[in-house]
Amino acid sequence: MEKFNGKAIYNPSGKAGEYSTWACNFYVGCSNMCEYCYCKKGILNNVMGMDKPQLKKCFKDETEALYYFKKELMQNILDIRKYGIFFSFTTDPMLEETHKLTWEAAFFAMENDVHVNILTKCIGKWVDQLCTEVHSSWRKFLSVGFTLTGCDELEGNSAKSIDRIRAMHDLHNAGYRTFASIEPIVDFDSSLGMIEKASPYCDLFKVGLMSGKKYDIVDSQTFVEKLMEFENKFYIKESLQKLSGYDNYASDNFVTRDYKLF
């Protein structure tokens, strides 16, 4: 399939492509201020590393951004229905500055039978609203994920990890699919601790290493072996597969990148 690269919607490649076949980016920059953020590294820093989210320069305003999202979604609707759509790789889609446009786009997608996957480090009123106020049909189309490294001291203005896990608990109990991004692995013990705490409420863990960080091979193998003891589903990203020597066929609870939550 030829890669689609629209103003709002596109086919991610590389490490991002392991997360989703289709994704949407409305903004660049983020106020979570995570020290390890890949958007702040190298040449990306000048393009996506701002400390506050900014609407992408290809949009004159949020209204135009939503217009292009709707247009590009319908242009690719049959394939996007197969895979769902992910928010987002260049900011946190649930920041105070970004969540309104995220929800408008997500609602349009779900109205058109598209599964929506939102990854965030933010907690807000929207969690309670999803659990108590929104139409029950959203539960068939919406999954919410939280990044969990176990290293709050590196994650600036983000919600505390324990609060993210509490929100995952509430959403899972309300009937939503939930997932966790255990990426980047800052250290294996911290990541394992997050998995242990979140495992009762998490339908899928996606686990990956930090770019440029050196890891011990034996420690990586021990870590992956411990994941096999859980009943949850895990997607082991290619970086960890290569280091540990284990792939996503090594255990019955390991899944491939095309695994669907719904």
3-state class (DSSP) for residue 2: coil
Q: What is the pLDDT of residue 43?
A: 53
* Angle between helix 99-111 and 62-75 (nearest 10): 30
Which residues face 9 on adjacent strands? 24
**Weakest mean pLDDT among 24-28, 45-49, 79-83, 237-241:** 45-49
pLDDT score at 1:
62
Residue 116 has pLDDT above 90, yes or no: yes
The tens digit of pLDDT for each residue in 182-215 reads 999 999 999 999 999 999 999 999 999 999 999 9
The mean predicted confidence, pLDDT, of the chain is 94
For residue range 44-77, list pLDDT tens digits in order.
555 565 789 999 999 999 999 999 999 999 999 9
CA distance 232 to 190: 18
Contact (CB, 8 A) for 153 and 127: no
Strands (E), 51-111: 54-55, 85-87
